Chain A
Amino acid sequence: MKEFFGSKKFIVIACIAAFLIGIMIYAAVSSSNAISSAVGTVFSPVQRFSQRISDAVTDALDMLINARKYYEENQSLKEQLAELYAQISDYTEVMQENDHLREMIDLASSADGVELSEPCTVIGRVANDVYGSFFIDKGEKDGIEYYDPVVTANGIVGFVTEVEYTYSKVTTILSNEISLGVYCVRTGETGVIEGSYELALDGRVRMVYIPLECEMTEGDIVITSGYSGTVPQGIVLGTLGETSIASNGLSRSGLITPTVDPYGLKTVFVITDFDGKGSAYEEEQ
């Protein structure tokens, strides 16, 4: 082996390694880099095709394997529906709440000043990512910008955290890198959403800084406050689960189950502009 370390081959390999270190430093100091952009541009069509095949196979297998589970789920849902019919006696209250929710989740019609992108197809997933981050087929050329919110009709999914010319990477709200101001629809109590590895494995996030004397109960719906200027106000995030007193004893924290399951998404929308976008940042300036 000694002669290898003195050979020209070794010098060439050392040069390749030095080049890669250079790429790594460049990628670390810049938000976007030519290599990942080029790779994404070249492979996006292949990825899209591959994802379609994978989805088709997964769906077919899922129907076969989980037929029993779906049958039971169907029965359970029927029972739930029957219970809901029983609860319809309080018609006025339900209607009011329903109107309120419809107003908040129907993004296209209710949120004035919100500009949505064209439907974005999920073309690939970040391999082995706990938070379910994924790639979409819209990028800089489609008007997507860094930290644009990503939503579906059911609620917020996450944020764009990498923008290349033809594709973007979306980090979900399950990530511990994302904090988001939220409040409860029913009580108006506020808090902040944050993720962790442990909660992400269960597909949940934590709502912190809830007042000790809060009136929120399990099942309450939590929506975005829009205070930070990163996301419009009133987008549904999820439902509250159990709450407990935080370790500092000064506030409570609760577990939130997001209304959108990021692991099964196929199409999403990016909010490219909205009233008050970047307002908090501008105030700081």
Chain B
Amino acid sequence: MKKNSNASESPAVKPQVKTAIKWTVFAVFTVFMYTASTSGGASSKALLLFPFAAAVAVYESEIPSAILGSAAGLLLDVSLGKLTGFTALLMCLFCAGISALFSRLLRKNIVNYLLAFSLAGGIYLYLDYYFYYKIWGYEGYRLVLTHRLIPSALKTLAWSLPVFGAVYLIERLCGSSRKPKLEEQDKNIERV
């Protein structure tokens, strides 16, 4: 077998190890964000798992994004006391969609992330409000929107910036550093 003689090209840490570290950090983040959403007082809270899963979806491919989105959604269902699978299903679809968009159409930057996340968050907010409050028409159900759901959504949106920053840093530090080569530099290509 032909060995790569150029020592500078061999990475210090193997890509598999980097990937393992990255997903371990993501798992720790997931646990932390779940406990953060159930701790403290009874005021409206930011749902950190949502922007976190969306930020990971920006950098990862569709299937890992969908799986992380589903797991984060299941945890959110438990912490929000919602029907198990409701948030998980929506987040699975959102994260897969965000991943597909960012790998094909959108540039990976914070503005596009905020736009994509706001759209997904807005759809989730409406579906949550509709299925859990509006459809039943209980007395004063609109107050839930103004006193709980919208404040929570705004807090989540505000937290999405540092969350994206954290995911970006993890991806920079632990992501597989793919270095595309110019065709001219690749001696294996047979030229006509």
Residues of chain A at the chain B interface (Cβ within 8 Å)? 1, 4, 9-10, 12-13, 16-17, 20-25, 27-28, 33, 35-36, 39-40, 43, 46-47, 49-51, 53-54, 58, 123-130, 132-135, 169, 176, 196-199, 201, 262-264
- Considering the chains assembled together, what is the distance between the CA atoms of A54 and B78 in angstroms? 19
Interface: B167 (CB within 8 A): no
User: Which A residue sits closest to B62, measured CB to CB?
Assistant: A9
- Considering the chains assembled together, what is the distance between the CA atoms of A197 and B88 in angstroms? 26
Contact of B88 among A20, A53, A127, A198 (CB under 8 A): A20
Interface-located stretch among B11-19, B30-38, B112-120, B179-187: B30-38
- Considering the chains assembled together, what is the distance between the CA atoms of A261 and B123 in angstroms? 34
Nearest CB on B from A174, distance (A): 10
Inter-chain contact A128/B38, CB cutoff 8 Å: no
Which residues of chain B (120-144) have a CB below 8 Å from chain A?
133, 138-141, 143-144
**What are 19 sample pairs from A and B whose C-beta atoms fall under 8 A apart?**
A1-B100, A13-B96, A16-B70, A17-B89, A20-B73, A21-B85, A23-B88, A24-B88, A36-B84, A39-B74, A43-B35, A50-B38, A126-B79, A127-B38, A127-B152, A128-B47, A129-B80, A196-B139, A198-B143
Interface size class of B (residues with CB under 8 A): 35 or more
Nearest CB on A from B60, distance (A): 12
Inter-chain contact B81/A126, CB cutoff 8 Å: yes
Q: Chain B residues near A128: list those with CB within 8 A.
A: 44-45, 47, 80, 148-149, 152
Interface: B161 (CB within 8 A): no
Inter-chain contact B39/A263, CB cutoff 8 Å: no
Nearest CB on B from A57, distance (A): 9
Interface: B2 (CB within 8 A): no
Interface: B157 (CB within 8 A): no
Nearest CB on B from A208, distance (A): 12
Inter-chain contact A53/B70, CB cutoff 8 Å: no
Contact of B85 among A1, A27, A49, A176 (CB under 8 A): A27
Q: Chain B residues near A53: list those with CB within 8 A.
A: 39
Inter-chain contact B38/A176, CB cutoff 8 Å: no
Interface: B104 (CB within 8 A): yes
Inter-chain contact B79/A27, CB cutoff 8 Å: no
- Considering the chains assembled together, what is the distance between the CA atoms of A24 and B42 in angstroms? 26
Interface of A is mostly: helix
Q: Chain B residues near A22: list those with CB within 8 A.
A: 85
Inter-chain contact A17/B81, CB cutoff 8 Å: no
Inter-chain contact B85/A51, CB cutoff 8 Å: no
Inter-chain contact A198/B139, CB cutoff 8 Å: yes
Inter-chain contact B39/A47, CB cutoff 8 Å: yes
Contact of A135 among B38, B45, B88, B104 (CB under 8 A): B38
Which residues of chain B (55-85) have a CB below 8 Å from chain A?
61-63, 66-67, 70, 73-81, 83-85
Those 5 A-B pairs whose CB atoms lie nearest each other, nearest first = A24-B85, A198-B140, A124-B38, A50-B35, A27-B84
Interface: B166 (CB within 8 A): no
| Chain B positions 80 through 105: 1 when the CB is less than 8 Å from some CB of chain A, otherwise 0 | 11011110110011001000110011
Known: A1-B105, A13-B63, A47-B38; 5 extra A-B contacts, CB below 8 A, are A13-B92, A20-B88, A128-B148, A197-B139, A198-B139
Q: Chain B residues near A17: list those with CB within 8 A.
A: 66, 89, 92-93
- Considering the chains assembled together, what is the distance between the CA atoms of A107 and B37 in angstroms? 33
User: Which A residue sits closest to B153, measured CB to CB?
Assistant: A128
Inter-chain contact A46/B79, CB cutoff 8 Å: no
Inter-chain contact A51/B39, CB cutoff 8 Å: yes
Nearest CB on A from B145, distance (A): 10
Inter-chain contact A1/B104, CB cutoff 8 Å: yes
- Considering the chains assembled together, what is the distance between the CA atoms of A21 and B93 in angstroms? 12
- Considering the chains assembled together, what is the distance between the CA atoms of A107 and B107 in angstroms? 64
Inter-chain contact A125/B38, CB cutoff 8 Å: yes
Nearest CB on B from A7, distance (A): 9
Inter-chain contact B36/A16, CB cutoff 8 Å: no
